């Protein structure tokens, strides 16, 4: 179906999108028509709308970044219309070209190009916006930065990295495929906190690593819009007061390159949220002046961060140049050895670390289940075997490996039917 692009601003009532009988496939409810919203709403994100915060006189705590969190309109303030594309909208450029260029008309906000011109985030180039891959700490491109994080020349860093990327690998690091950021499929899910236009995540894709890039709609407005237009997995979000909406132990590695987050605030609550999200033995790659600058203020912050993370049982796995890498423990052993008065405390046993929808962050350590503790890790198969191997945590919610396999076989059949159908439809429509 080709979309009708409105060429001028039309009052919502006159601008209706008719659903015809050819379109109405099997919609389980009756739809006749939907109004198209006014063009001024072409970038509306219903629950992340700063105007709404002012209009409803909500008083979010600005210091805690609550104003960048979700605030949904009450039913009477919701729009019941289709969001129109911006004027002159073009069908997006396809992947992989989209990693490096998008149509300017689709997101006509060029402020970041000027503001970050020295860091090569993005460049306006006629009717396109180009993304040279730069970032605050990787002006020369995220690709080189990723290689530098595990390069061979940097022997000490490389060896440390080999060891902590694979806890089983102690003396055998030379046999380890360290050039690959994905560590033989053991690093697959990455969380890039404060991602900018998500170039780090974009360049990890060729390493078979999926980064979920996360940033709010703050002074760097439209950053996530650019990331999505480029085809990079990303979402609007903030480390503020609410848990990120992922269950515990979701990511093998978190990354922050100059994300400007005050990690020491509120008894380390933001670090504790990262800790909840990281898998056993998960890593945090931190590239920021606090990790390398020698001035007294950065030294003070570094010392306080190191002290906090030590109390959380994280260990420095590697530290070189601009970056430090911490690893969280594989088991509960270190937590159990702490003096019971040590801060931050362990979470109460009735806290569900997987509850994440609209749940306030908690300044406590989510300990592992008895199974994870005993098995010293999440026991996940490396990617891509992970796709078809039952993840051990399923057993904790009562799904056996056999049920997982049955489900996998069923899904594979459905996918085959679907792809046959798509191929046949494609042939018929030629
Ligand atoms: C200086 S930019 C760095 C961007 C990118 N990491 C790079 O290296 O180019 C800081 C980023 O952190 C984001 N940010 C700031 N505070 C944040 C928070 N509390 N949670 C998530 N992102 C945050 C900003 O929106 C922005 O994307």
Give the model confidence (pLDDT) of 14-42 as tens digits.
Answer: 455 554 444 445 656 666 788 999 999 99
- 127 burial (CB, 10 Å; 0-12 / 13-18 / 19+) is exposed
My answer on whether omega of the bond before 384 falls inside 30° of 0, hence cis, is yes
Q: Report CA(360)–ligand 1 centroid distance (Å).
A: 21
Token couple for 120: 């090569």
Q: Report CA(195)–ligand 1 centroid distance (Å).
A: 5
pLDDT the model gives residue 256: 98
pLDDT the model gives residue 318: 87
- The third-level CATH classification (topology) of the domain covering 142-375 is Rossmann fold (3.40.50)
CB 272 within 8 A of CB 361: yes
pLDDT the model gives residue 151: 62
Output phi, psi for 255, to 5 deg.
Answer: -140, 140
Token couple for 246: 């992922």
Q: Which of 116, 142, 196 to mutate to test the pocket of ligand 1 (most atoms within 8 A of CB)?
A: 196
Minimum-distance ligand 1 atom for the alpha carbon of 134 = 9
d(CA 130, CA 102): 7
Q: Report CA(215)–ligand 1 centroid distance (Å).
A: 6
Q: Report CA(286)–ligand 1 centroid distance (Å).
A: 12
Q: Find the residues whose C-beta lies inside 6 A of ligand 1.
A: 65, 135-137, 193-196, 214-216, 218, 220, 223, 238-240, 257-261
Q: Which of 215, 218, 323 to mutate to test the pocket of ligand 1 (most atoms within 8 A of CB)?
A: 215
Minimum-distance ligand 1 atom for the alpha carbon of 270 = 19
d(CA 51, CA 117): 29
| Cα angle for residues 407, 409, 412 (degrees, 5° grid) | 105
Q: Which residues contact 155 (CB under 8 A, 6 or more apart)?
A: none
Neighbours of 210 (CB within 10 A): 17
pLDDT the model gives residue 6: 40
Token couple for 422: 């798509």
pLDDT the model gives residue 177: 52
d(CA 39, CA 8): 8
Q: Report CA(219)–ligand 1 centroid distance (Å).
A: 10
Break the chain into its structural domains and give their ranges: 16-82, 142-375
Output phi, psi for 403, to 5 deg.
Answer: -65, -40
Q: Report CA(259)–ligand 1 centroid distance (Å).
A: 4
Q: Which of 63, 192, 204, 216 to mutate to test the pocket of ligand 1 (most atoms within 8 A of CB)?
A: 216
pLDDT the model gives residue 179: 58
Q: Report CA(241)–ligand 1 centroid distance (Å).
A: 16
pLDDT the model gives residue 124: 96
Minimum-distance ligand 1 atom for the alpha carbon of 218 = 25
d(CA 312, CA 428): 60
Using 70 as the pLDDT threshold, list the residues of the chain that sit under it. Answer: 1-31, 151-179, 422, 425-430
Rg of the chain in Å (alpha carbons): 24
């Amino acid at each position: 179906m080709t979309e009708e692009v409105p060429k001028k601003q039309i009052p919502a009532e006159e601008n209706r999108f008719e659903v015809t009988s050819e379109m109405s496939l099997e919609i389980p409810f009756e739809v006749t028509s939907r109004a198209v919203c006014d063009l001024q709403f072409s970038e509306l994100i219903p629950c992340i709308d700063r105007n709404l915060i002012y209009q409803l006189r909500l008083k979010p705590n600005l210091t805690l970044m609550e104003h960048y969190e979700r605030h949904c309109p009450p039913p009477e303030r919701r729009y019941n219309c289709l969001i129109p594309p911006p004027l002159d909208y073009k069908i997006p450029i396809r992947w992989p070209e989209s990693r490096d260029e998008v149509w300017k008309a689709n997101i006509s906000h060029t402020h970041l190009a000027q503001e970050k011109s020295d860091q090569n985030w993005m460049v306006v180039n006629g009717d396109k916006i180009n993304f040279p891959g730069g970032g605050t700490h990787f002006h020369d491109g995220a690709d080189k930065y990723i290689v530098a994080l595990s390069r061979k020349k940097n022997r000490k860093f490389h060896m440390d990295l080999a060891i902590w990327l694979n806890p089983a690998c102690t003396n055998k690091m030379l046999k380890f495929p360290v050039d690959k950021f994905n560590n033989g499929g053991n690093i697959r899910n990455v969380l890039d906190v404060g991602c900018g236009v998500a170039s780090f995540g974009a360049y990890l894709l060729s390493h078979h690593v999926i980064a979920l890039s996360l940033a709010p709609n703050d002074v760097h407005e439209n950053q996530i819009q650019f990331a999505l237009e480029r085809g990079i997995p990303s979402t609007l979000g903030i480390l503020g007061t609410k848990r990120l909406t992922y269950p515990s132990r979701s990511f093998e590695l978190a990354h922050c390159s100059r994300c400007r987050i005050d990690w020491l605030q509120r008894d380390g609550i933001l670090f504790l949220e990262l800790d909840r999200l990281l898998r056993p033995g998960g890593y945090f790659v931190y590239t920021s002046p606090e990790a390398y600058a020698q001035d007294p203020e950065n030294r003070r912050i570094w010392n306080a961060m190191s002290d906090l993370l030590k109390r959380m049982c994280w260990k420095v796995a590697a530290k070189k140049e601009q970056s430090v890498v911490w690893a969280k423990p594989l088991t509960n052993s270190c937590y159990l050895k702490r003096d019971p008065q040590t801060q931050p405390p362990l979470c109460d046993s009735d806290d569900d670390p997987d509850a994440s929808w609209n749940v306030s962050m908690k300044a406590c350590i989510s300990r592992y289940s008895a199974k994870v503790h005993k098995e010293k890790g999440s026991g996940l198969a490396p990617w891509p075997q992970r796709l078809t191997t039952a993840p051990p945590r399923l057993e904790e919610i009562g799904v056996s490996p056999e049920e997982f396999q049955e489900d996998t076989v069923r899904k594979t059949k459905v996918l085959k039917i679907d792809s046959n159908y798509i191929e046949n439809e494609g042939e018929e429509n030629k």
